[in-house]
Amino acid sequence: MSAGDAPPRPQHPRFAKPQRVAFVQSSWHRDVVMEARIAFLDEIEARHVPRERVDIFEVPGSFEIPLHAQILAKTRRYTAIVAAGLVVDGGIYRHEFVADTVIKALMDVQLRTEVPVFSAVLTPQQFHESQAHFEFFKKHFATKGVEVAEACANTLLSLERLRGQVAAGIVAGG
């Protein structure tokens, strides 16, 4: 490999069945949150979920994500749901309350529906409406997009194996 060549991309396992993912994104600070979506789509495609099998939904803010996630999960159309948002402003109690509420509600959705829900809903302690902060968080959201795609793909593979074992009677089902 010459100095200008990129290292080979890792080989990821393939799914036994096609996957479909819903990506629910808040529109608050869209230009920052969009970085997570772009990185997610690139990484999930590298992990054998084609972009055309990812449906994008946009909501006003992070507080609206859990209801959309629940309705989408109940359709049984999606094998996973990913949430992305940036919760800022309004004082420390307000944004911490919103973030905590959103995360707990997303956990409730996945436990009620058995559709895994992943969160890239972030709450920075110190966010300023400055170009430097926007650039920092754009990079941070790109990293989170890759991480949430990795978590999503690995969980879907794990659930596919587990459900196969339950169906085969290897693991007792409930």
Q: Is 76 a catalytic residue?
A: no
Secondary structure E strands in 42-79 = 54-59
pLDDT in tens, 24-78: 999 988 888 999 999 999 999 999 999 999 999 999 988 899 999 999 999 999 9
Q: How far apart are CA 32 and CA 152, in angstroms?
A: 21
Q: Which domains does the chain have, with CATH numbers?
A: 21-167 (3.40.50.960)
**How many of the other CB atoms lie within 10 Å of CB of 161?**
14
Helical (H) or strand (E) element with 23: strand 21-26
Catalytic residue among 53, 94, 112, 163: 94
Could you tell me which of 20, 18, 17, 148 has the C-alpha nearest to residue 83?
148
pLDDT in tens, 124-173: 666 656 676 677 778 888 999 999 999 999 999 999 999 888 888 887 65
